[in-house]
């Protein structure tokens, strides 16, 4: 693996008595794409949010590009400029058009002038295939288009790392493909990416590594062929069977219920 762009050491996160992350160790190399999968409540999104300190870890260290962002003396705003984050919801400003949504963060945070910000906005709208929507308002866009604008907005800040928190989960199924196509393109361009997702086809085709989490720990990690194709752990196999064949999972549950009733 190339030098770590993201390094997590013994990471713990608790919310009150709820111990969500229980000692996570993870490295992501420069240009590597890592997909994090697992059931709801496994700690995936919390881990992602700890990587840019949207959630402050209870214990442990996080390094981005060699800088420890969990150091109390770190300039976290400077570090966050190197990290792009794309959420489940698009978080676009409804009163601003697409170009304005892309230029405002550049001008406020990076202090770019209006002309430079507009040029970079146009370049990144082209990267996500939405040049023709530069003057449109979010309300006139589909969910998939809004998410692609959100990706373009993150890219316009010039990040070295992109974090994606289930970026297609709020989309209608027919809109998912265009967003994943943009992410595939970023991967081929060499962008370092950490992606929390339930899109197994994307993980198989694009990820360099897949990490399966459950109960706040990493159960197993490896190549997509290994983790998705031939998982070692029963917990991983059970999760994937339910995800890839939900009808079979429902049959198993009904059978289990019937067995339980007959034994009672």
Which long-range contacts does 167-171 make (Cβ < 8 Å, 24+ apart)? 167/86, 167/87, 167/88, 167/195, 167/197, 168/197, 168/199, 169/88, 169/198, 170/88, 170/89, 170/90, 170/143, 171/143, 171/144, 171/147
Domain containing 109: what range?
93-159
Q: Is residue 251 part of a domain?
A: no
pLDDT digits (tens, 9 = 90+) for 102-153: 999 999 999 999 999 999 999 999 999 999 999 999 999 999 999 999 999 9
Q: Per mean pLDDT, which of 67-81, 163-177, 208-222 is the most reliable?
A: 208-222
Q: Which helix or strand (DSSP H or E) is residue 84 part of?
A: strand 83-86
Q: Is residue 126 part of a domain?
A: yes
Residue 224, φ and ψ in degrees, nearest 5: -55, -40
- In the predicted model, what is the mean pLDDT of residues 55-62? 95
Rounded distance, CA 126 to CA 223, Å? 32
Pair of tokens at residue 103: 């230029």
Q: Is residue 100 part of a domain?
A: yes
Q: Is residue 175 part of a domain?
A: no
pLDDT digits (tens, 9 = 90+) for 169-206: 888 888 899 999 999 999 999 999 999 999 999 999 99
pLDDT band with cut points at 50, 70 and 90 for residue 264: very low
The domain tally of the chain equals 1
User: What was the pLDDT predicted at 168?
Assistant: 92
pLDDT at 211 over 80: yes
Q: How far is CA 248 from the centre of its chain?
A: 28
User: What was the pLDDT predicted at 170?
Assistant: 85
pLDDT band with cut points at 50, 70 and 90 for residue 89: confident
Rounded distance, CA 157 to CA 24, Å? 29
pLDDT at 251 over 80: no
User: What was the pLDDT predicted at 243?
Assistant: 82
């Amino acid at each position: 693996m190339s030098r770590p762009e993201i390094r997590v050491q013994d990471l713990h996160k608790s919310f009150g008595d709820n111990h969500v992350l229980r000692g996570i160790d993870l490295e992501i190399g420069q240009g590597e794409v890592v997909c994090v999968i697992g059931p709801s409540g496994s700690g995936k999104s919390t881990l992602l949010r700890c990587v840019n300190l949207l959630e402050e870890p209870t214990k442990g260290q996080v390094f981005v590009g060699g800088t420890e962002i969990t150091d109390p003396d770190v300039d976290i705003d400077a570090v966050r400029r190197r990290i792009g984050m794309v959420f489940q919801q698009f978080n676009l400003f409804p009163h601003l058009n697409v170009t304005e949504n892309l230029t405002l963060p550049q001008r406020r945070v990076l202090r770019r002038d209006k002309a430079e910000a507009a040029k970079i906005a146009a370049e990144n709208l082209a990267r996500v295939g939405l040049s023709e929507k530069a003057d449109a308002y979010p309300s006139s866009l589909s969910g998939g288009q809004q998410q692609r604008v959100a990706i373009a907005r993150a890219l316009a800040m010039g990040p070295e790392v992109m974090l994606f928190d289930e970026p297609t989960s709020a989309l209608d199924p027919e809109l998912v493909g265009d967003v994943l196509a943009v992410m595939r393109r970023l991967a081929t361009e060499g962008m370092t990416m950490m992606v929390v997702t339930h899109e197994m086809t994307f993980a198989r085709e694009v990820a360099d590594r897949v990490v399966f989490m459950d109960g706040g720990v990493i159960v197993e990690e490896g190549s997509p062929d290994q983790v998705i194709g031939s998982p070692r752990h029963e917990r991983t196999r059970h999760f994937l069977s339910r995800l890839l064949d939900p009808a079979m999972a429902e049959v198993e549950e009904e059978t289990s219920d019937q067995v339980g009733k007959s034994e009672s």
